[in-house]
Structure 1
Amino acid sequence: MNRRRTIMVLGASAMAVGLLSAAAWLGGLRLNLTPSEPLGLWRIEMPQRAIAAGDLVFICPPQTPPFEEARHRLYLARGLCPGGVAPLIKSVAALAGQHVEIGEDIRIDGRLASSHLHRIDGAGRPLRPFAGGIVPPGYFYLHSPFASSYDSRYFGPIPASGLLGLARPILTVVP
């Protein structure tokens, strides 16, 4: 009798966790467990205006070779975006028409962007930087203040069509 009760309690608990997770997902809540932005609970909000430089966004990365490699290198968490990855949470550093220069540092329209490049990742593998250029229409150039973040410094601008919404912290902590 005890075994049956234990199985029923575990089953009910699993169902409750699943229902709560589904409700949170449908309600736009996301858990960030990467150091690119503060750890914790975030909400995706639909923007009521055009996305601007400086906005913090959730965006699904495209299924391209750089993101396939990033998935294999475990830079990206598993999630429900196309390709089975979690959405990125990054700041929009440049919009369509802006010029990004990649050298010893990164400049956007000639202004220094507080960022620099790494030549290798934490496992000693080479990182290929984005070549630079004009952000095309319908794309965003993304950035994270975390020095080791995998962002547009390496994968370049990504399509705005993957935008899920603005990222708003609910309960977060800086690591």
Structure 2
Amino acid sequence: MKITVFAFGTRRAQRTNAVVLLALAASIVGGGVAAATVGGFRINMTPSEPLGLWRIVPLDRPADRGDLVFVCPPQTTAMREARERGFLRAGTCPGGVAPLIKTVIAVAGQHVEIGAGVTIDGRPVPSSDLAVQDGNGRPMTPFSGGVVPDESVFLHSPFRGSYDSRYFGPLPASGILGLAQPVLTYAP
């Protein structure tokens, strides 16, 4: 038995239609992502916090301990190295990186000690043990500790593999975009 398949139009026309449909789909997806970004929404694809859609809520007060925030990392040597290692994703912050989503665990004037884990003003921070090496076997250098400077915050994620202030130290509070509010998230 022979099966005959009919295709309408020439192969060239079929390819042209396929390219047009693919371009249309890419435009719709890209437009949706751009609209979400402009509208204060971000997609978290790292295990530092639950995966999914988050919203940046304006912060009309100074950041405080316990605030879950989106923050643009400064363009420092440590952050450039983090980008080269693949710790930071591409995004809309200066330097072309995505904002980090982390919890503020210390503010200006608080004392941070780094050992096997982190202590703030002498109190141990749960889930703050340090990794000696990254996922590719490269050594991780912890922050040396000290007093959080004025107008700065010390950030943390309970995920052991998170790249946070345990390694890069305090960040300027001026980089905070706002509070991180889950919209549609999934914690694996």
Residue ranges of structure 1 left out of the alignment (5+ in a row)? none
Shift of 1:72: 0.7
Moved more, 103-112 or 134-143: 103-112
| Contact 2:63-2:173 within 8 A present in 1 as well | no
Residue ranges of structure 2 left out of the alignment (5+ in a row)? 1-12
Does residue 97 (structure 1) correspond to residue 105 (structure 2)? The answer is no
Count of residue correspondences: 175
Q: Distance in 1 between matches of 2:78 and 2:16?
A: 49
Shift of 1:78: 1.1
**Which residue of structure 1 aligns with residue 99 of structure 2?**
87
Shift of 1:82: 1.3
Shift of 1:81: 1.1
1:24-55 Cα offsets, whole Å, 9 max, x none, are 11111111000000000100010133211011
Shift of 1:17: 1.7
Percent identity of paired positions between Structure 1 and Structure 2 = 59
Shift of 1:106: 1.1
1:70 is paired with a residue whose SS is: helix
**Which residue of structure 2 aligns with residue 163 of structure 1?**
176
Does residue 68 (structure 1) correspond to residue 72 (structure 2)? The answer is no
Does residue 47 (structure 1) correspond to residue 59 (structure 2)? The answer is yes
**Which residue of structure 1 aligns with residue 4 of structure 2?**
none
TM-score normalised by length of structure 2: 0.89
Does residue 24 (structure 1) correspond to residue 44 (structure 2)? The answer is no
**Which residue of structure 1 aligns with residue 9 of structure 2?**
none
**Which residue of structure 2 aligns with residue 129 of structure 1?**
142
TM-score normalised by length of structure 1: 0.95
**Which residue of structure 2 aligns with residue 8 of structure 1?**
20
**Which residue of structure 1 aligns with residue 7 of structure 2?**
none
Which structure shows the bigger proportion of residues in strand conformation? 1
Q: Distance in 1 between matches of 2:30 and 2:114?
A: 44
